[in-house]
Amino acid sequence: MFPDLKGFVRPGSEEDKLARQLDFSRLPRHVAVIMDGNGRWAEKRHLPRIEGHRAGAKAVQEVVEACGHLGIKYITLYAFSKENWKRPKREVARLWKLLEDYLRKEDKQLIKNKIRLMVIGQMEDIPPSVLRELERVMDLTKACDRLTVVLALNYGGRTEIVDAVKKICAAGDIDPAGLDEDSFSRYLYTLRSPTPTS
């Protein structure tokens, strides 16, 4: 068994059996998770939607912990899209509050586990108190090197493309004929992390 799983996976458990089937040399360096369906999960159980988001946050914590133990270096969590602003204002406020509370409570755990936090997306639209916590925790964890958690907040794929094109135009020294996927990727939010599954 991969040595870092000792104490994380109970011997003889289903997880242990699954871990024994893994080829650890073929695990990706970067995985991405689209967080979706938490509200629907709660509604099916006749719970308030925020309870689904709390359950989703707990599941994310387990996934992040597993990634750390498996030796995966990056995980991107698509947590709040541009479209999420269309939800009821109360739900949106609670989502941001959930993130803010998590950052305040878990900052020491992130440092202890050597987990670095990064954010991609249009940060200027994030509520100020949440943005302060994000910046504080990113600064606290900037030297951590076991696992990098990238939160995609106020993120949209098309928005990322438009922002990249704006940066290219502002740079003014790009020959359109020489623009390819590699050169374009240098202007994306994801510049500082490897491509998921690589």
Q: What is the DSSP string of the chain?
A: --GGGTTTS-TTSHHHHHHHH--GGG--SEEEEE---HHHHHHHTT--HHHHHHHHHHHHHHHHHHHHHHT--EEEEEEEEGGGGGS-HHHHHHHHHHHHHHHHHHHHHHHHTTEEEEEES-GGGS-HHHHHHHHHHHHHHTT--SEEEEEEEEE-HHHHHHHHHHHHHHH----GGG--HHHHHTTSGGGGSPPTT-
Out of 36, 125, 139, 145, the active site residue is 36
Known catalytic residue: 154?
A: no
Which one is catalytic: 4, 16, 84, 113? 84
Identify whether 36 is a catalytic site residue.
yes
Query: Mind telling me the catalytic residues?
Result: 36, 84
